[in-house]
A and B are shown apart, each in its own frame.
Chain A
Amino acid sequence: MKRTKKAGAEAISPNGGSRGRVEGNASAKNENKNGKNGRAPASARFYGTPLPGVNPDELSGSLIVVEGTDGSGRSTQISLLTEWLESEGFAVETMGLRRSFLVGEDIDALLAENSVTRTTLALMYGTDFFDQLERRILPALRSGLIVLADRYIFTLIARAAVRGIGRDYLHGVYEIALRPELTFWLNVRPEVAFDREFKKSQTISYWESGRDMSLSNDLFQSFIRYQSMIKREFEYLSKRHGFIELDGEGSVPQVNRELRQRIASHLGIRRTQYKPSHALAHLWR
């Protein structure tokens, strides 16, 4: 991808004024509904200086994030939301961790070796994040798509922060990232997460239980302590970034209804009825 010569600082949009929605699927139904908080002005679409070479004005799509620890039901909800949005006529793109072409597999390899140190791992995740954001997500947003992020910078910040990397350092790394329009946090207790994860794969993974941190030799204890630490980071992040906290321990249909209602009102979708197709029916319980 060719970049223009534009320096980072010049890319900041000086205007703070309101902007209307650009064309695209999302716009038509949205005009009156959202009024002032339909979306942030272009200059506030990034946390700090935008990524070099990006013009915030071009991003007509919407970025919606679903966060939560392992076993919080995130991925299930993303699958269902994708189907619902598509049935409503919205084109959807998704992103998640370790899905970049550039370094996704390299991170898998690093995790398998577990000789990697914390800053290196944090920066590899950062590379993975920005590779997806720049080469897949921003183009999608320029085309007016809805992007559903299965985790975002918040998980990356939380995981690195519990390993002793400064929160401010991490926020600094991600200040060039795009600010989501909505961030949902599916909050579950570590014990519930444990039950769900165990049911899913009959064991608990090395990294999900934070075993690199020498918290406990007992796998269950290690998992609970690690997930509790992550949860505390999320409580802090939730305040700082205004998460919409949902009870992740509710049933899948319950959580999904809440998500649909919030997203519908944000995007100006009138109908929130949804029943999963046959292909996804197994998730609906």
Chain B
Amino acid sequence: MATATTEIGAASYAVPETTPAPKRDYPGALVVVEGIDGSGKSTQLYLLKRWLEIGGYRLHFTEWNSSPLVKSATRRGKQRRLLTPTTFSLLHAADFADRCERQILPLLQGGYLVLADRYVYTAFARDAARGCSPHWLRNLYSFAPVPDITFYFRAPLDVAVNRIVAGRPKLKYYEAGMDLGISLDRAESFRIFQERILSNYDQMVQTDRFVLMDGTMRVNQLQKQMRRIVTERVNLEPFAPKKTPKKK
């Protein structure tokens, strides 16, 4: 993870290994959920979104890997198994850049509360597990605005893996990390791959100020906790409906 300083590894910049406090040069706010598959993060973000929607807040929800722009390339690459760790990572970065430049940034500038199901940390954890250099990944995504809150939903590996394996007929090739050649057995490969990702996430709790959430808690209790933290950390007033200003 050393800061390479070759003539191309740029002497003049050092990619921070720790993300600095959010830079707020826009009126919007960004709330992010992260965690391995099966950690419960999407359910929780959905419930948070419903709560805010029902309250009439100005918000926008965005998902990882949802831009139509690079879909054909991703599909082609995955179907034919052409993706290397580097092209896998770059393609997802291109996709994220499209969403960032055309949705997230304009919305933050326009004063929206943006909720993101997975963010750059997904790439840091997953692509590093594939063998990409963490330093290179940090630079690759350095155009992304830093979230106001990053919720990290942590569930024990077994719990998370069982939730996924039970609910899905067949694990996909890249999803299971089969490209890494860890194991010929998909379920086993998936498990080992998720274990590496989990460990990469754990390392970011400190460096990236994750708010740790216990994914084994009951859904409604966890949601209560999440709503409380959002209320404490983000001033929701600017996003609230005009006539009824919320507390704080």
Interface residues of A (CB under 8 A from B): 1-9, 11, 47-49, 51-53, 101-103, 106, 110, 116-120, 122-124, 126-127, 130-131, 134-135, 166-169, 171-177, 179, 240-241
Contacts and interface: CB of A to CB of B under 8 A. Distances in A.
Contacts of A176: 86, 133, 136
Nearest to B138: A172
Contacts of B95: 120
A1 B97 contact: no
B69 A130 contact: no
25 contacts: A1-B81, A2-B179, A3-B130, A8-B136, A9-B133, A47-B9, A48-B4, A48-B8, A48-B136, A102-B91, A103-B70, A106-B72, A106-B73, A116-B69, A120-B101, A123-B97, A135-B82, A135-B84, A166-B13, A168-B13, A169-B139, A171-B9, A172-B9, A179-B8, A241-B7
Nearest to A177: B8
Given A51-B86, A172-B136, A176-B136, A6 B131 contact: yes
Nearest to A110: B69
Contacts of A103: 70, 73, 91
Nearest to A115: B102
Nearest to B94: A123
Interface residues of B, number: 47
A102 B73 CA distance: 6
A175 B11 CA distance: 12
Contacts of B101: 117-120
Given A117-B101, A123-B94, A130-B86, A8 B72 contact: no
Interface string B86-97: 110011011101
B244 interface: no
Interface in B79-134: 81-87, 90-91, 93-95, 97-98, 100-102, 130-133
B180 interface: yes
